[in-house]
Structure 1
Amino acid sequence: MSLPPGTAPVKAEYILTNVGRTVPDDDAAEGSTSHLNSRTDNQEPTEDGQNGSRGARKKWSKEERKNKRGANKGRRFQKVRDELELCWRVAVGKTCEFGAECRNTHSVEEYLAAKPKDLRFPPVSALGNEPPYVALSANEDEAMAAASYPSIDWSANCPVFEKTGECKHGMRCRFLGGHVRKTDEGNLELVVNEDKKAQMIVAETELNFVSGETLKQIRSKKFPHPIADTYLKHLQETKDDDNKKAEDRAPAKDLTSAASAPSTDEPEPSVISGSPAEQGEPKIQDNLSQVDTPDAPLRPAEKKRLHWNGKTYLAPLTTAGNLPFRRICVDYGADITCGEMGLANSFLQGSKEEYSLIRRHPSEKTFGVQIAGSKPQLLVPAAEILGKVCEGNLDFVDINCGCPIDLVYKTGSGSALLDAAGKLGKIIVGMNKALGDVPVTVKLRTGVKDGKNNAHKLMPRVNSEWGAAAMTLHGRTRQQRYTKLADWDYIKLCVDAVRAREAEEDLSPVPIFGGGDCYSSQDYWEKVEHSGVDGVMIGRGALIKPWIFTEIKERREWDISSRERLEEIRKFAEYGLNHFGSDTAGVNTTRRYLCEALSFQYRYVPIGLLEVLPGRLNDRPPVFRGRDELETLLASGDSRDWVKISEMFLGPTPEAWSFTPKHKSNAYDTESQG
């Protein structure tokens, strides 16, 4: 069968039609800044060229292709809660201090009478590659359950309880039958496995939890950040001095206009060289050992060195890079993980949602937080706060200088910093001081506009002048987004420029990672050898096939089976319940993020179906069938199928729940999704 250029080389016996599947527009999906005018139409053609009612195949018209391209801009996700909510204090056996004024019920009996029936989480042994894919054994205690507590399934098993020995949601858990028993008096009593709880508390307790009281302090501007305050004060004094000297040098006739004109260029940081005495700087009176003066030269011994050579690095990924997904990647061999990008301004405002992005699981051996902002006044104090609230549980803080989306770029953040070297220098130096011995790393793109790459000029300064401990370079400009292949020749040029500067100034080499289009073990090691990077940061490749880290570690291409992929999905659901919760809200939040993960994983073309290896990230697959029914189902681009897969592990979707995929090409009428 003749296939168009750029089509994945699927073996002929698996091809259903040589019409290529719709290629999701990652640029438009990531670039969405509006939440208006959302509309999906189940009469649009599906991935296999059919219409939404699964009628006869037809070719895509130009207008239809245009309609399917881009993002669903009106995505809204609300929490689905129980119709009658039980007070969480009562749910775990405590006394509610609000008493009758509490907005939730205190009657366990009333709550259980209205609560949906327990869910059953399937063991690995229940999984298969033929329908029904998940086969649960019959419930022998059904009659007994119905007689006393209809909502409780006494044969249910709670994945949170099984992992930690205790379920923090108590009576509100949707798997309640797994950790409750009836007393001799006929009452219900929560079960706690003290031995397992003591054994697993270190291995399963998430780190970097920020209390409500701390968030309140941050919101009210009462959380101290003295190092940042002193540093920013000195920057202002330096700027005032520079302005005064400029005025003194200006001719008398120009003084008025010079004073009234806005400053367009920020001075290069004077914080890089010179002793404190030479600069006339006040000494910071603080008990933190990392700083003597706000602008003292960095002492190498004060910073932890990052030894990342040979390690695998999962990129910080917005929305999809949540903690359960990172745990999956760690299981497959990811050595370095980074939380989703957080906004400095939101950290300074004490946003609960923003601080949830810094949560870390103990299995993440090397963990960092990525932060975006437009100026030192935001980034430096935010960094100092992060360093304090994550004390001992933060291995690095990454500055985002690569985010291309308008929402970030137009504020002067993300890739806009590539054209503001002076500002970037102040940010890196200030954050280095504010974070103590926690290293600062920088993620960049090659430049802002096509044909105007400037990373080769910027990166040597990032290390030698401003003291960044590591750098990552994505091989595209902001303007290119994902529309062209990453330029690994230019990445090599940048690596050579940094290494030459390090050799010239006798500096210790810092880790440099590249990024862009890495999708296989062969890809990875060829790019490392060609460009001289210490490793490749994996982004979309990990979203589509999280097992890429195993491939890299073992230097092989893994023809993973459909059942092994289903085990990974089950594990994601388990990790999601542990992180988001096993109550009604947690179950459906887990369901949402599981569907987000499947919205990328369906794009994987099993390598056992390919004529030529390895598979390539940007190849457009034809419509194909898998080697078994499960493999075919996992390749479905229909978001309704992702919801059905989630139901195998999380039970039926409630009426109030719906899922709108990020990519328009996967969107269908939400009423059909359950």
Structure 2
Amino acid sequence: MSEPIKRAAEIAETSQPKKVHLDDRLDQKGYAPIKAEFIVENTLQDYDDEAAETGDRVKDDRSNRSKKGRGQNKKRDLKQRREELRLCSAVLNPAAMRECPFGEKCTNTHDIDLYLSKKPADIAGTCPVYDAIGYCPAGLKCRWLGSHYDPATKEVLKLEEKIELAKKNDYELNKINPESRVKLQKNKYDFVKANPYVKYLDTLVQSEANIAKRQEDVKNNVSTYVEPPFTPAEKKRIDLKGAKIVSPLTTVGNLPYRRLMKTLGADVTYSEMALALPILQGAKPEWALPKAHSSEYPGFGVQIASNHHQQATKAAEALANETTLVSELNLNCGCPIDLLYRQGQGSALLDQPSKMVRILNGMNACSGDIPVTVKIRTGTKDHKNTAVSLVSRVLEETHVAAITLHGRSRQQRYTREADWDYVAEVGKVVQDWNIKKQDNKDLQDTPPTWFVGNGDCFTYEQWHSAVNTEGIDSVMVARGALIKPWIFEEVEAEQYLDKSATERLEHMRQFANYAVDHWGSDEYGIENARRFMCEFISFTHRYIPVGILERLPPKLNERPPKWKGRNELETLLGSTDYKDWIKITEMFLGPASPNFQFTPKHKSNSYN
């Protein structure tokens, strides 16, 4: 038995819940039917289903529910603290030291012996980064230093063969040139395509009081646009027919998670939603979002949100220029969060089709050979679906490569199930448009517009049912891929997989290794990895093993009573207590430092 599994058993034994005998089984709507012998307490667990879509960068200002232990922990402080004694990067490798650019003004220590004496004890095992790419960029700061450091020669070791192999197969894409980011920050970036095209789009917004003058303005501005935009036929081709697609997910849809999903069968992944304005301001955190692992391309999309064609058009040009390998740019017209909605972004564009069309056309004109796609909802209000008319207009007036429809309105949020009948209705509109294009000589050579459904997909049966529906090319999976990361393995096998606790723990190990590879193996990087791993577990703990359910299929919106697993490890992986989530991370990332802090997004996870 491996050390992580032994550790898991020890942890679980100390907090094993006692079984409560029930006189009556819970029999109500929304109840997950767990076999009686696995039920511990008849209290239904509460979840926050908006966490995947909102994350922490965009705050929803709805008031907390008054009941203790429910609602969101709004003011989470998730910034990890730095080490008290920090080593200067100039001396990370004693055998290859360089001169410190800050000289005597440097605020970090250059005393290697002092730093090593104060440094926490090494984590047992081999450094995941050194094991993956043949060297560790963290050098002496690595928490697994003993696995790649020779104290006698004071040399940080390297494996040249692995380094060369990693350069070919294992690297991160889409890192912006530092000089370009500075130009954005100083408002000196040259938008060769966007500037003239934005001027053209501005004329479309002007009053139609003087139609003749407006037409003359349009004609003049079109003539100033010397280089015509790419036609749809010249764009990169994307093929979403039957593709296994992971939805853009804020916070939890980070690079290590997407990399894990690629190993588990995903074909298409998306960046976390980036806001167009910070992109144009050269904000470092925003430009970190388009980064992708080499395994994600082709099939990697960057999602942006914007409320104006000027921002979206320029952001599209900047992303096309500064990212090396992107398969599509996706405009978010579905985010329901109040802050974005009030700013005219996300789902606010559903009620402003003219603005949406201008934004999509501007992005398409300035994104080079990168195709543009859009994600929408059924509408902004319940029982007032507008997607049919909206999609018809988008198809007629733009050249989007794909449309994704979340089968809920903005007002609905995550209440009630997604309306797949309406999704199919909209899919028929797209299908008819693709057929109509074949009769148009100017559009015959253009690729079809793909249509993707989204909402509540949690089983292989739901996925295949949707894909086999006329007009629907594929399904975008969100929460289903967070709670059950192997969902695409089930789609491929066309059966339920009763993953053992050991297999599920292995997925956690993979995520931890990818997280350290991405954020670094020093103290700060590890605690960052730990924080995002806890965010991931805040979804994976919701998985109810197939073997303890009374009936199939499981439903995404069903809530379980408190339950225990078939063994101690399974019980631990299903724990709702965030302190247990931290214990799981410690199996792979070592003990959490005294500086580590994590507050779960949902208050119910803060209590035993």
SS in 1 for 2:41: strand
Q: How does 1:480-559 map to 2 (within 5 A)?
A: 480-506=412-438, 508-530=447-469, 532-559=471-498
* Superimposed CA distance per residue, residues 601-642 of structure 1 (whole angstroms, 9 cap, x where no aligned partner): 110000011121121111111221111000001111001100
* Superimposed CA distance per residue, residues 65-103 of structure 1 (whole angstroms, 9 cap, x where no aligned partner): x33332110111122322211011211333122222211
Question: Contact (CA 8 Å) 2:43, 2:561: kept in 1 or not?
Answer: yes
- Residue 4 of structure 1: aligned partner: 27
* Superimposed CA distance per residue, residues 299-322 of structure 1 (whole angstroms, 9 cap, x where no aligned partner): 332212221111100000000000
SS in 1 for 2:40: strand
Question: Contact (CA 8 Å) 2:245, 2:476: kept in 1 or not?
Answer: yes
More displaced 10-residue stretch of structure 1: 160-169 or 616-625: 616-625
Amino acid at match of 1:88: S
More displaced 10-residue stretch of structure 1: 500-509 or 84-93: 500-509
- Residue 225 of structure 1: aligned partner: 191
Residue 196 of structure 1 pairs with residue 128 of structure 2? no
Residue 383 of structure 1 pairs with residue 322 of structure 2? no
Question: Contact (CA 8 Å) 2:200, 2:221: kept in 1 or not?
Answer: no
For the structure 1 residues 310 and 362, does the alpha-carbon distance in structure 2 shift closer, same or farther, using more than 3 Å as the test?
same
Q: CA deviation at 1:37?
A: 13
- Give the Cα–Cα distance (whole angstroms) in 1 for the partners of residues 471 and 331 of structure 2: 23
Residue 112 of structure 1 pairs with residue 116 of structure 2? yes
Question: Contact (CA 8 Å) 1:25, 1:663: kept in 2 or not?
Answer: no
Q: CA deviation at 1:282?
A: 1.7
- Give the Cα–Cα distance (whole angstroms) in 2 for the partners of residues 299 and 165 of structure 1: 44
For the structure 1 residues 28 and 587, does the alpha-carbon distance in structure 2 shift closer, same or farther, using more than 3 Å as the test?
closer
Amino acid at match of 2:167: I
Q: CA RMSD in A?
A: 2.5
- Give the Cα–Cα distance (whole angstroms) in 1 for the partners of residues 276 and 401 of structure 2: 20
SS in 2 for 1:282: helix
Residue 322 of structure 1 pairs with residue 258 of structure 2? no
- Residue 304 of structure 2: aligned partner: 371
Q: How does 1:216-295 map to 2 (within 5 A)?
A: 216-240=182-206, 242-245=208-211, 281-285=222-226, 291-292=227-228
- Give the Cα–Cα distance (whole angstroms) in 1 for the partners of residues 61 and 379 of structure 2: 31
Amino acid at match of 2:181: L
Q: How does 1:136-535 map to 2 (within 5 A)?
A: 156-183=125-152, 187-240=153-206, 242-245=208-211, 281-285=222-226, 291-292=227-228, 299-365=231-297, 366-391=299-324, 393-506=325-438, 508-530=447-469, 532-535=471-474
Question: Contact (CA 8 Å) 2:253, 2:271: kept in 1 or not?
Answer: yes
Amino acid at match of 2:301: G
Amino acid at match of 1:630: L
- Give the Cα–Cα distance (whole angstroms) in 2 for the partners of residues 332 and 400 of structure 1: 26
Query: Gaps spanning 5+ residues in structure 2: where?
Result: 1-23
- Give the Cα–Cα distance (whole angstroms) in 2 for the partners of residues 658 and 239 of structure 1: 48
Question: Contact (CA 8 Å) 1:29, 1:71: kept in 2 or not?
Answer: no
- Give the Cα–Cα distance (whole angstroms) in 2 for the partners of residues 499 and 25 of structure 1: 32
Structure showing greater radius of gyration is: 1
Amino acid at match of 2:394: V
For the structure 1 residues 600 and 424, does the alpha-carbon distance in structure 2 shift closer, same or farther, using more than 3 Å as the test?
same
- Give the Cα–Cα distance (whole angstroms) in 2 for the partners of residues 410 and 422 of structure 1: 18
Residue 94 of structure 1 pairs with residue 90 of structure 2? no
For the structure 1 residues 284 and 26, does the alpha-carbon distance in structure 2 shift closer, same or farther, using more than 3 Å as the test?
closer
For the structure 1 residues 78 and 668, does the alpha-carbon distance in structure 2 shift closer, same or farther, using more than 3 Å as the test?
farther
SS in 1 for 2:121: coil
- Residue 79 of structure 2: aligned partner: 78
For the structure 1 residues 90 and 28, does the alpha-carbon distance in structure 2 shift closer, same or farther, using more than 3 Å as the test?
closer
- Give the Cα–Cα distance (whole angstroms) in 1 for the partners of residues 62 and 143 of structure 2: 36
SS in 2 for 1:281: helix
Q: CA deviation at 1:168?
A: 0.5
For the structure 1 residues 27 and 485, does the alpha-carbon distance in structure 2 shift closer, same or farther, using more than 3 Å as the test?
farther
- Residue 260 of structure 1: aligned partner: none
- Give the Cα–Cα distance (whole angstroms) in 2 for the partners of residues 378 and 236 of structure 1: 12
For the structure 1 residues 594 and 239, does the alpha-carbon distance in structure 2 shift closer, same or farther, using more than 3 Å as the test?
closer
Question: Contact (CA 8 Å) 2:279, 2:287: kept in 1 or not?
Answer: yes
Question: Contact (CA 8 Å) 2:174, 2:323: kept in 1 or not?
Answer: yes
Amino acid at match of 2:539: F
More displaced 10-residue stretch of structure 1: 214-223 or 334-343: 214-223
* Superimposed CA distance per residue, residues 449-498 of structure 1 (whole angstroms, 9 cap, x where no aligned partner): 11221111111232332000001000000000001110000001101112
- Give the Cα–Cα distance (whole angstroms) in 1 for the partners of residues 391 and 462 of structure 2: 24
For the structure 1 residues 385 and 277, does the alpha-carbon distance in structure 2 shift closer, same or farther, using more than 3 Å as the test?
closer
Q: CA deviation at 1:38?
A: 12
Q: CA deviation at 1:27?
A: 7.2
Amino acid at match of 2:44: G
Amino acid at match of 1:169: A
Q: How many residues align?
A: 572
SS in 1 for 2:427: helix
* Superimposed CA distance per residue, residues 245-298 of structure 1 (whole angstroms, 9 cap, x where no aligned partner): 49x9xxxxxxxxxxxxxxxxxx9xx9xxx9x9977722434xxxxx42x6xxx6
- Give the Cα–Cα distance (whole angstroms) in 1 for the partners of residues 61 and 156 of structure 2: 46
Question: Contact (CA 8 Å) 1:82, 1:584: kept in 2 or not?
Answer: yes
For the structure 1 residues 432 and 546, does the alpha-carbon distance in structure 2 shift closer, same or farther, using more than 3 Å as the test?
same
- Give the Cα–Cα distance (whole angstroms) in 2 for the partners of residues 363 and 355 of structure 1: 19
For the structure 1 residues 280 and 13, does the alpha-carbon distance in structure 2 shift closer, same or farther, using more than 3 Å as the test?
closer
- Residue 640 of structure 1: aligned partner: 579
For the structure 1 residues 178 and 37, does the alpha-carbon distance in structure 2 shift closer, same or farther, using more than 3 Å as the test?
farther
For the structure 1 residues 36 and 557, does the alpha-carbon distance in structure 2 shift closer, same or farther, using more than 3 Å as the test?
closer
- Residue 38 of structure 2: aligned partner: 14
SS in 1 for 2:241: coil
SS in 2 for 1:368: strand
* Superimposed CA distance per residue, residues 522-564 of structure 1 (whole angstroms, 9 cap, x where no aligned partner): 1111122246311110001011111111111221111000000
Report percent identity of matched pairs: 44
SS in 1 for 2:583: helix
SS in 2 for 1:81: coil
Amino acid at match of 2:45: R
SS in 2 for 1:363: helix
Q: CA deviation at 1:244?
A: 3.7
For the structure 1 residues 240 and 12, does the alpha-carbon distance in structure 2 shift closer, same or farther, using more than 3 Å as the test?
closer
Q: CA deviation at 1:3?
A: 2.1
- Give the Cα–Cα distance (whole angstroms) in 2 for the partners of residues 37 and 448 of structure 1: 17
Q: CA deviation at 1:13?
A: 1.8
SS in 2 for 1:552: helix
For the structure 1 residues 280 and 104, does the alpha-carbon distance in structure 2 shift closer, same or farther, using more than 3 Å as the test?
closer
Question: Contact (CA 8 Å) 1:34, 1:74: kept in 2 or not?
Answer: no
- Residue 509 of structure 2: aligned partner: 570
* Superimposed CA distance per residue, residues 169-193 of structure 1 (whole angstroms, 9 cap, x where no aligned partner): 111111111111133xxx4111111
* Superimposed CA distance per residue, residues 395-421 of structure 1 (whole angstroms, 9 cap, x where no aligned partner): 100000000001111100000011111
SS in 2 for 1:399: strand
SS in 2 for 1:661: coil
- Give the Cα–Cα distance (whole angstroms) in 1 for the partners of residues 53 and 267 of structure 2: 28
- Residue 557 of structure 2: aligned partner: 618
More displaced 10-residue stretch of structure 1: 436-445 or 620-629: 620-629
Q: CA deviation at 1:447?
A: 0.3
